[in-house]
Homo-oligomer: A and B are copies of this chain.
Amino acid sequence: MRPSGRSPDQLREIRFTCNYTKHAEGSVLVEFGDTRVLCTASVESRVPFFLKGKGEGWITAEYGMLPRSTHDRMGREASRGKQGGRTLEIQRLIGRSLRAAVDLKALGENTITIDCDVIQADGGTRTASITGGFVALSIAIQHLLDKNKIKKNPLHGQVASVSVGIFQGVPVLDLDYAEDSNAETDMNVVMNDAGAFIEVQGTAEGHAFRREELDSMLELAEQGIRVLIEKQQQALDSV
């Protein structure tokens, strides 16, 4: 039995509140149960140094947790003077995952920065960030199309992400904190709407996982992501 009473293949309640803030070109508050992440997409008409003059754009991401988004207060990274390894790892993952859905040439010399700030954490903040980040990105791109700043939609697909794991010997979908902190194995999967994989990151500190466990987890992830992709679409349709 899962602590939340969910069945092994059941997602938490998923909610997208689009245009949650007024300044960003795209914004959404994404909720996976009690995990709440504010994703904003900011458009700037410049590109990073390494793309100067190539006629391409860039998608990048930053991630942060509010100090008391977690059970115990965490030190503020701005005050400690640097972002931790976990933060850097997560924001690199978000950026790579979203770039996989974008034709950077069609974006022109624009940079879109996806900021994912965790308001409340209850497990799965990185998968919520990718899933919500895609929605914020889509709204911002629609904004660029509406303003005629780009001609062609640079999105060539949808991207969503979910976690899977082995909890008390059973493969489960979309782990919350109670499960995550006790899981034997934890895997984050990012996929597109064509059912192909963009990222697969599985970790076993305690119990190494066998090939058949890996296979079960991948199947749960495929199934969960199919649902998330539909929910993203519904949210975007209602904007």
Contact = CB atoms under 8 A, between A and B. Distances in A.
Interface stretch (A4-12, A38-46, A230-238): A38-46
B208 A194 contact: yes
B115 A68 contact: yes
A113 B75 CA distance: 11
Interface in A77-136: 77-79, 81-89, 91-92, 96, 99-100, 113, 115, 117, 119-121
A117 B119 CA distance: 10
Copies of this protein in the complex: 6
A199 interface: yes
Nearest to A23: B71
Interface stretch (A48-56, A147-155, A168-176, A210-218): A210-218
Given A82-B78, A85-B89, A202-B199, A68 B208 contact: no
A126 B210 CA distance: 22
Nearest to A71: B23
A87 B92 CA distance: 12
A26 to B, nearest CB: 10
Contacts of A206: 100
Given A23-B70, A196-B209, A76 B64 contact: yes
